[in-house]
Chains A and B, each alone.
Chain A
Amino acid sequence: MAMDKTPLIEVKNLRKFFPIKKGLLRRTIGHVRAVDGVNFSINPGETLGLVGESGCGKTTVGRVVLRLIEPSDGAIEVSGRDITTLGRAELRPMRRQMQIVFQDPFSSLNPRIRAGDIVGEPLKVHGVGDKKERQERVAQLFARVGLRPAQMNNYPHQFSGGQRQRISIARALALDPGFIVADEPVSALDVSIQAQVINLLMDLQRDSNLAYLFISHNLAVVEHISHRVAVMYLGRIVEYADKASLFARPQHPYTEALLAAVPLPDPELQRTKVRVDGDVPSPIRPPPGCHFHPRCRYAEARCKVEAPVLKEIAPGHQVACHLR
């Protein structure tokens, strides 16, 4: 793990509430508490894995961190500087350092623009070099992500899913960022192609000291790629720890259930079936107290009224549970 003193990204008490509007006057009748007080930090060259099931708020976190969605509250510090208060013009140079790779390599690339122009677009937007220099830079980027520079004139539909994800990665790398949000970057890919893209992301990290916020529902992929892992449930981080510690000794009952639910590709293993019942509750009216208590097999009276806060139970291992 990288041991730099100042984290590259530090998120403090981040909140994002989406208003729910109803009726003719579009009056706000409630809020979806998509992100409800999230704290984490990412060092240069480090990967923070953010896992959780659909609707837990992990994608919203990724977008809010880049200010693609405005936060409702909280601070996002990039190299120590809070970007939540910056205006558009001040934010622009910061954006060069922070990029994103989306899940769906089909909808995240404009089908009518050539691959080379897609990758070159950020350079153009930020006025980097002249046309010829940009062409050369795009060719380098193509080579770096394992595409042939000769493919620069092709359109997105002429590439396979894995190759399109390489184009997305090249686009994210164009401005030499220090930080990339990777939102389910391999979920839409076949397993044999997944491995290619994961290896590419890890190679790029090693070569350029990139930091990733790696958002995924796939625990095996997160375990493979991350240095530290945060587990989200209904807008809150319930467990936050070094990778080895989290996967070896999961402390939150939700993490435990999540890990037990992953089917393992080995028919000889004796599985411990710790099943959770029911669905994830609605983030509009989350249960009081610990959000997980209606599905938790250890829940006690106090879990139903008092929300647990994240506390350190071992060095580098935080958990939000009354029973730990």
Chain B
Amino acid sequence: MAPVLEVSGLSTVFHTRRGLVRAVQDVSFSVNAGETLAIVGESGCGKTITALSLMRLIPMPPGQITSGSVKVDGTDLLQLDEREMRKMRGGKIAMIFQEPMTALNPLLTIGRQIAEMVMLHDNASRAVAKTRAVEMLHHVRIPEPERRAREYPHQMSGGMRQRAMIAMALACKPKVLVADEPTTALDVTIQAQILDLIGDLQKEFGTAVVLITHDLGVVAETAQRVVVMYAGRKVEEAPIKEIFARPSHPYLRGLLNSIPRVGSARGLDVSPDERLQEISGIVPPLNDLPVGCAFNPRCSLANDQCRAERPAFELKHGDHYAACFQA
């Protein structure tokens, strides 16, 4: 089966007064229909810029996609003109954001916003689009969808707004859904509802999902494949079970060791004052990356080679890739 989304060699830079910021460098991945690929990393690792690059939503200037291709069903989005791209956005590839309040138009009702999408992409009449909007709200399990369609975003709770945004994103049955921290602003019980919902809709429509998150718990529950990013580059990639069982890059190992876990009091003998393992230091600024491996100043395994050369992203063992001399 050919992947629905194929990203290869994607690089995005920003021209700023402080110099060239290489936000995304040489990032490649592919996602099959019905599959979820998680892109994990901390703030400043380039995961959101990767998502925005896929949608071609990078403000240019100062931003610029300098190389690579983003193929959806074989069509390279980076080669399209703006008019063609607008057809793709929402039609073939859609995005949901962390904070639905900033992504929804506060002046239009929820129903109207979804209907607009349907009218634009499916050339549907106003009446058909309206019915479709209500159907979609029903689909994302919003109670009383007819009434809710007439409401404005501010009248809804955070969880409801996120559902409405998902309804809008999926209204035209896109092949690819890019979800940038879709549950980070939500409470855990609501987060669980939204993740279940995305999973169910994905199964039903066969959508390929790119899930951007910093939460390794969310990754473990939803993704089939994981890409770990650090300082704008991929540092590790593997199937979900493999990457949690044998994390290879010291950065991912550090991340996994630094998170406290719920349930440690339930059996596992963790004494109450056991220290969490820290990753020392902070993520380097993208306009001033260290020489060699970008992680070397924070890495306990770093040696002279790590401080001089950048490790290649290569196959380490069966379908497990990493960029590390020590892995």
Q: What is A's interface to B at a CB cutoff of 8 Å? A: 53-54, 160, 162, 190-196, 198-199, 202, 206, 217, 219-221, 223-225, 227, 243-244, 246-248, 257-269, 271, 273, 275-277, 279-280
Contacts and interface: CB of A to CB of B under 8 A. Distances in A.
B283 interface: yes
B218 A258 contact: no
A156 B195 CA distance: 37
A54 B191 CA distance: 13
Given A190-B214, A279-B190, A259 B258 contact: no
B200 interface: no
Contact of A206 (B221, B273, B282): B273
Contacts of A264: 217, 220-221, 261-263
B33 interface: no
A207 to B, nearest CB: 12
B265 interface: yes
Given A53-B189, A217-B187, A261-B188, 6 more contacts: A53-B187, A191-B255, A248-B265, A248-B266, A267-B240, A279-B157
Q: Tell me if A's interface is mostly helix, strand, loop or mixed.
A: helix
Contacts of B195: 263
A202 B217 contact: no
A248 B214 CA distance: 27
A220 B187 contact: no
Contacts of B160: 279
Interface of B: 42-43, 157-160, 187-193, 195-196, 214-221, 240-241, 244-245, 254-256, 258-267, 272-273, 275-280, 282-283
B265 A275 contact: no
Nearest to A264: B217
Contacts of A248: 265-267
A133 B102 CA distance: 49
Contacts of A53: 187-190
Contacts of A192: 42, 254-255, 258, 278-279
Contact of B196 (A219, A266, A268, A275): A275
A279 B259 CA distance: 28
Contacts of B258: 191-192, 194-195
Nearest to A269: B220
Nearest to A279: B157
Contacts of B254: 192
Contacts of A193: 282
Contacts of B240: 267
B301 to A, nearest CB: 16
B241 A279 contact: no
A252 to B, nearest CB: 13
Contact of B220 (A244, A266, A277): A266
Given A192-B254, A195-B276, A220 B159 contact: no
Contact of B192 (A196, A223, A261): A261
Contacts of B265: 223, 243-244, 246-248
B213 to A, nearest CB: 10
B218 A263 contact: yes
A269 B217 CA distance: 11
Nearest to B280: A196
B192 A275 contact: yes
Contacts of A276: 189
Contact of A263 (B215, B279, B283): B215
B253 to A, nearest CB: 11
A162 B282 contact: yes
A54 B188 CA distance: 10
Q: Sorted from nearest, which 5 A-B pairs have the closest CB atoms?
A: A263-B217, A224-B260, A53-B187, A195-B258, A192-B279
B187 A199 contact: no
Nearest to B254: A192
B189 A266 contact: no
A268 B192 CA distance: 18
Nearest to B264: A223
Contacts of A267: 220-221, 240-241, 244
Nearest to A259: B262
Given A190-B214, A195-B276, A275 B188 contact: no
Contact of A202 (B245, B267, B275): B275
Contact of B189 (A220, A247, A258, A265): A258
B272 A227 contact: yes
Nearest to A217: B187
Nearest to B158: A54
Contacts of B261: 220, 223, 264-265
B277 A243 contact: no
A25 to B, nearest CB: 26
B42 A257 contact: no
B43 to A, nearest CB: 6
Given A160-B282, A263-B218, A221 B191 contact: no
Contacts of A227: 272
A219 B196 CA distance: 20
Nearest to A54: B187
A190 to B, nearest CB: 4
